[in-house]
A and B are shown apart, each in its own frame.
Chain A
Amino acid sequence: MKKRTFKEWLKQWDQGEFDLDRGEAEALHYRPETQEKDDDSWAHRPVRGLREGEYTLFVKVYPFAALLLASVMIFFFMRTVAELPPFASACTPANQSEVIRRYIENGLTETGAVNIVAGVILDYRAFDTLGESHVLFTAATAVFILMLAGEAEPEDKRTRRILEADTVLSVTARVLFPLIVMFGFYVILCGHLGPGGGFSGGAVIGGGLILCSMAFGPERISRLINMKTYRGVVLCALLFYSIAKCYSFYCGAHHLETVFSPGTPGMIFSAGLILPLNIAVGLVVACTMYGFYSLFTRGTV
C-alpha cells in the first residue's frame, strides 16, 4: 500500500483531488469490516514519523505524562481556590475596593440596569467591551478568510438527504425552533433586566438557526442569512456600537452622564444605551455562529 506523506496529502487536498466524483468508485471499494476497524480509535494507529519501538514507548509514557500534568494543574487550582475568601465574608475584594463598592451601591441609579453585570460591561466598562468586540470581529474575520480561501466544496448530497429524511430531527426541530429563537430574543431584550445579554442570546439564536439548517436544509436559512446580509448586519452593528461609544475617546473613558437617561429601572425601555447595544451584539453573534457552522459544513455562507 502506498503511503503518502502529510505534505503530499495536503497538496492533493489543495488541488481538490478528493472530489466527490470518486464517490461511486469509493462505494465500489467500500468494505464495512475494514471501515469499522479503523473507525475512530486512535490508540492502535501508528503515529506518523515514529518507529515501532518509539511508538510503544510513546503509548506507555503518554498516560503517565498526562496524569502528571493534570495533577500539577489540579494542585495549583486547588491552592488558588483555598486562598479565596469565603462567600459573603467581610474581607472580599468587593468590600475593600471602592470601585466595586461604587458599582454595587450606585450602579442601579447611574446606569438604570437591574442586571449589574450588564450595567458594568455595557455602561461603566463599555469602552473595554468595544475593544473586546473588535477583537472578536478580527478573529471571526480570520476564520472566514481561512475557510473561504479555497474554492467552495461541492456539497455532500448523501449526508444532506439522510438528514432531511430524518423524521425525529425534523419533527423535533419544528417544535423546538420557534421556542429556541424566542428564548434567544428574550435573553437579548431583557439583558439589562435579568441574566443574559447580547452574547448569550445571540449564541442561543445561532444554535436555533443551526438546528433549522440541519433539519430543513440550508437553503431556507440562506434566504435569510447569506454573505450579503451577514456583511450588512455585522457592519451596521459594529458601526453603531463604535459610534455610540466613541465619545469615550474624547472624555477620557470616565464619562457617566449621557444624553440617554437611565429611565425607570425595571422597565424594558430603560438603562439608556444598554438595550440597543445588546441587540447589536446579539445580531453579530447570531450571524457569526451560523456563519461558522455554514462554513464548516458547506464551505460558504
Chain B
Amino acid sequence: MDLIELCLLGLILICGIATCLQKNLMVSLIIFMAYSVIMSIVWALLRAPDLAITEAAVGAGISSLLLFITLQKIRDLKRKDASNDEKTNL
C-alpha cells in the first residue's frame, strides 16, 4: 500500500475520533467536513470515481451545509430563549 494511502487512512481515523471527542459542535462539524473530503480522495484512489464525486458533493458539501444551518437555527432559538428568560426574570 502506498504511503499516501496510509496517511489518508490515518487521517480518516483521526478525523473520525476527533469528531466524536470535540465538544464544540461547530468545530466538530468542520472536522466532519474534512473527514468527507479525505474519504472522497480515498474513494478516488480505490478506483471508485463515481462515489468520489458523490461523496465530495453530498458529504462534504450539502449535508454539512444543512447541518451548519441547523446549528445556526438552534443557536438563534437558544439566544431568544435566553433573552426571554431574562425578561421574565426582570
Pairing of A with B:
yes
Show the binding face of A for B, using Cβ within 8 Å: 1-2, 9, 13, 18, 22, 25-26, 29-30, 34-35, 38-43, 66, 117, 156, 159, 187, 194-197, 199-201, 203-204, 206-207, 210, 289, 292-293, 296-297
Encoded as 1 (CB less than 8 Å from any A CB) or 0, chain B from 50 to 90 comes to: 10111001100110011001111101111111111111110
Distance of A199 Cα from B52 Cα, bound (Å): 12
Q: Give the size category of B's interface with A.
A: 35 or more
Residue contact A38 to B78, C-beta cutoff 8 Å: yes
Closest chain A residue, CB of each to CB of B50: A195
In angstroms, Cα B87 to Cα A41, docked, is: 24
- Let me know if A200 and B82 touch, CB within 8 A: no
> Which single member of A30, A41, A206 contacts B23 (CB below 8 Å)?
A41
Set of chain B residues within 8 Å of A196, measured between Cβ atoms: 49-50, 53
B45 at the interface (CB under 8 A from A): no
* B residues neighboring A (CB under 8 Å): 20, 23-26, 49-50, 52-54, 57-58, 61-62, 65-66, 69-73, 75-89
- Beyond A117-B50, A207-B61, 12 extra complex contacts between A and B, CB < 8 Å: A2-B89, A18-B77, A25-B87, A26-B79, A29-B87, A38-B78, A197-B50, A200-B58, A203-B58, A204-B61, A210-B62, A296-B66
- Interchain residue pairs with CB less than 8 A apart (10): A1-B85, A2-B88, A22-B83, A29-B86, A39-B24, A41-B23, A199-B54, A200-B53, A203-B62, A292-B66
Give the chain A neighbours of B57 by CB distance below 8 A.
200, 203-204, 206-207
Which residues of the other chain, B, contact A200 by a CB distance below 8 angstroms?
Answer: 50, 53-54, 57-58
**Does the CB pair A289–B62 fall under 8 Å?**
yes
CA distance A199 to B86 in the complex (A): 48
Residue of A nearest to B71 (CB): A40
Q: How far is the CA of A35 from the CA of B78 in the complex (A)?
A: 10
Number of A-B contacts (CB under 8 A): 91
Q: Is the CB of B69 within 8 A of A296?
A: yes
Interchain CA distance A41-B26 in the complex, whole Å: 9
How distant is B21 from chain A, measured CB to nearest CB, in Å? 9
Smallest beta-carbon distance A243→chain B, Å:
26
CA distance A201 to B23 in the complex (A): 34
Q: Which chain B residue has the least Cβ–Cβ distance from A202?
A: B57
B72 partner residues in chain A, CB cutoff 8 A: 159
CA distance A13 to B15 in the complex (A): 36
Residue in chain A with minimal CB distance to B72: A159
Q: Which residues of A contact B52 (CB under 8 A)?
A: 195
> In the docked arrangement, what's the CA distance between A203 and B14, Å?
27
* CB pair B62 A30 closer than 8 Å: no
Closest to B16 in A: A70
Compute how far the CA of A35 lies from the CA of B82 in the bound complex, rounded to whole angstroms.
9
Q: Is the CB of B25 within 8 A of A40?
A: yes
Cβ contact within 8 Å between A30 and B54: no
Closest to B52 in A: A195
Among all A-B residue pairs, the 7 with the closest Cβ atoms: A195-B49, A203-B57, A26-B83, A207-B61, A200-B54, A41-B23, A200-B53
